[in-house]
Amino acid sequence: MRTRIIFVLILLIVWSLASYSVIDFDGEAANIMTFVFVSLGGYGVIAATLLNIWNVWDASKNISDKIKFDITENTFKYFERWDNPSLKEARDLTRQIKKDIDSWSDNELLKKIKECESTERSVITAFNFWEEIYKSISIGRVNPELLKESFGEVYCDMYIRFKVWREDKKKNHESDNAMKSLDKLNKLWM
């Protein structure tokens, strides 16, 4: 702000000197006064325009800062949601499957998911969370690097672990758009 005031004062001095150099002192006093007032009016227009430009720049910067803040806030909301009870329950069930998956075939895993409503709901809940993250990344409402740093390994592990479930959904044309989003997120975070 101080720099702007100094600049406006320098502009006033330069404008005054330029106006003074054009004044014809041999002329009538009324003409000189008219010229001075017109010159000051011109200075007022230029100074006001300059101040308006600065205000627009400030407003643009404030809006830009607000957008950056909102993006960060949206990102941190995903961190908070990660610990919500419903998502925590889904994560716990998928972790249990991770422990047991080595002893199961793909068909057994798919059967266990489909036969147990709570397990299927947990898998769907977890992947709905990932789909929402991908959509938020694709429209630019979150910080993708921060999300990848925090969730990248977990998601890629789940993506591989539940490949048979995802492939079954694709084969049956269930949730085609969701499956495409999950594939794109995996490609983005690999």
d(CA 168, CA 92): 23
Residue 89 identity (one-letter amino acid):
E
- What is the percent of the chain with per-residue pLDDT over 70, rounded to a whole number? 91
State both tokens at 17: 């000197």
Helices and strands per DSSP (H, E), number in the chain: 8, 0
- pTM for this model (two decimals): 0.72
For residues 101-129, give the mean pLDDT.
86
Taking only the tens place, the pLDDT of each residue in 60-76 is 889 999 999 999 999 99
Taking only the tens place, the pLDDT of each residue in 31-45 is 666 777 777 777 778
CB-based contact 47:11 (threshold 8 Å) = yes
Closest to 178 measured CA to CA, from 134, 146, 143? 134
The answer, yes or no, to whether residue 17 has pLDDT greater than 80, is no
CB-based contact 144:137 (threshold 8 Å) = yes
Ramachandran assignment for 111, one of left (phi > 0), alpha (psi -120 to 50 degrees), beta (any other): alpha
Residue 29 identity (one-letter amino acid):
A
In the chain, what are the domain boundaries?
2-65, 83-189
State both tokens at 93: 């069930």
Question: What is the 3-class SS of 2-56, one letter each residue?
Answer: HHHHHHHHHHHHHHHHHHHHHCCCCCCHHHHHHHHHHHHHHHHHHHHHHHHHHHH
